[in-house]
Amino acid sequence: MDRIDPWRVDWIFLATALAIIGLGLPFLRSSASSGDFARQMVWLAIGLAAMAFFSLADYHRWIRLAYWIFAAATLLLLLVLQAPAINNAHRYLRLGPIGTQPSEAFKFALIIALARHLGKRENQHMMQGLVIPFLLTLAPLYLILRQPDLGTAITIPPILFAMLWMSGARFSHLLSAVLLGLASAWPMWEYGMRAYQKARIYAFLDPEKFESAEAYQLLMSLSAIGASGIFGQGLGNGIVTELDLLPEKHNDFIFGVIAEEGGLAAAATMIILFLILALIGLQISANAPDRFGRLLAAGVSAIIGWQAMLNIYIVTGLLPTTGITLPLVSYGGSSLVVTCAMIGIVLNVSQSRPTLDKMENPDKI
C-alpha cells in the first residue's frame, strides 16, 4: 500500500476547486431565495467536510468496498423509481426533510467500481474485456433513463470511455461502441424519448418558433448573456435574472447569471478554472503510483470537466436544453456534496507516495 503524505497534497488543485466555489457563491446569492441560499450553505459545509474526509482517507480502502458501494447506489436507483413523482419524474428520495438525488451518488460509485474492475484486469485491449465495464455502466444507466433524467444520463458514458482509455482500451474498439450508440439514436428517439424531451430538441433547432414555451428558457439565457458586457451589470443588477425572467437561474442556468451580472470577465474566469481543474486532475492521474489511483483521478476529472462543458454549452445555446448542473456552483445538495467528495479522493491520490514494492511493481494494487 502507498504511503499517504498529507503535506504532499496538490494545493493548486484544491485552490482551483475552492476558487470555483468562491466565485460562484455571490452569483448564487443574488439569484436564489434567502432560504435556498441558507440551505446551500449547509450543504456546502457538509460538502467541505466530505472533501476533507476523502482527502485524508487512504483511497486504497475503497478497493474492498467498491462493489458494495456500487450495489448500494444501484439499489437506490431502484428505490427512487418507487418514490412519489416530483414534476412527473422520480429523481429524489426523501429522508425526512432532506431530499437526495441517487443518480448523483451513482456517478461516484461507478467511478470507484470501474477503477476496481479495470485496475485488476489486463484484457481491456480486447473486445471481450469491455463487456463487464459496459454492463456495469449501461444497466444502471437504464434505471436513470427510467426516472427520467436525461441530463444525468448523458454525463455518465464519458466516465466509462475515459476510464477505458486510461486502462488501455483500443481506440478502434471505443469508436465501434460510439458508432453502435449512434446507430441506436433513431430507436431511442422513437421509443425512448418522451414528448417534452423531443420538444426541447425541436426548440433548439428553431427557438423562435417555440419562444413562448420550450425555447423560452434558452432565449432568456441568451438575452442575459448578450446584455453582459465585459464586466457585467453588477451583482443584483441583472435585468433578466433579477426580474425572474430566467427559470432555474440558481440551478441549471446559473452560468447565465454569472455572465449577465459578472460579464465576460467572470464567465471566462469560470471556464478557465474548470479547464485548470480538469487538466490538473488528469496530471494527478498520470502521476498516480498505481492503476487504481490513476483510474479514480481520471474518472473524476472526466465527469467534472464533461459536466461543466455540457452545462455551459446548454446555457449558451450550443446544445438542447436539459437538466445538468454546473459542478460546485449550481444550487443542489446532492450534486455539491458528491462533487466535493470526488474532489477529496483526487486530493488523496495526489498525496500518495509509492512504497518500494510499488516502485518495483508499478501496476500492482
What are the average pLDDT values for consecutive 10-residue runs of the chain, which has 365 residues? 64 96 94 89 96 93 93 92 76 74 91 91 75 89 86 88 88 84 74 72 71 71 79 79 72 89 93 96 92 93 94 88 89 92 95 52 45
The SS3 assignment for 90 reads coil
pLDDT at 211: 62
Residue 2 DSSP class: P
Strands 98-100 and 93-95: antiparallel
Give CA–CA dist 189/211, Å, rounded: 23
* pLDDT score, position 310: 93
pLDDT value, residue 175: 87
Tell me the C-alpha distance between 13 and 20, whole Å: 11
Q: Three-state DSSP class for 3? A: strand
Q: How many CB atoms lie within 10 A of CB 191?
A: 7
Q: Which of 338, 335, 317 is nearest to 326 (CA)?
A: 335
DSSP per-residue codes, 229-266 = TTT-S-TT--HHHHTT-STTTTTTTHHHHHHHHHHHHH
pLDDT value of residue 223: 79
Please state at what angle helix 333-351 crosses helix 254-287, rounded to 10 degrees.
20
Q: Which residues on adjacent β-strands are paired with residue 95?
A: 98
Residue 357: predicted pLDDT: 40
Is 255 within 8 Å of 328 (Cβ atoms)?
no
Collapsed DSSP state (helix, strand, coil) of residue 94: strand
55: amino acid identity, one letter: S
What is d(CA 181, CA 197) in angstroms, rounded to the nearest whole number? Answer: 18
Cβ(351)–Cβ(5) under 8 Å? yes
Biggest alpha carbon–alpha carbon distance for the chain: 66
Residue type, 226: G
Task: Report the C-alpha gap between 346 and 282 in whole angstroms.
Answer: 10
The type of residue at 69 is I
Please give the Cα distance from 99 to 214 (Å, whole number): 27
pLDDT of the residue at 218? 77
Nearest CA-CA partner of 50 in 79, 17, 75: 17
- Quick check: helix, strand or coil at residue 324? coil
- The amino acid sitting at 82 is Q
Q: Please count the other Cβ atoms lying within 10 Å of the Cβ belonging to residue 29.
A: 16
In 10 A of CB 99, how many CB atoms? 15
How many beta carbons lie within 10 A of that of residue 169, not counting itself?
23
DSSP state of 338: H
pLDDT at residue number 246: 72
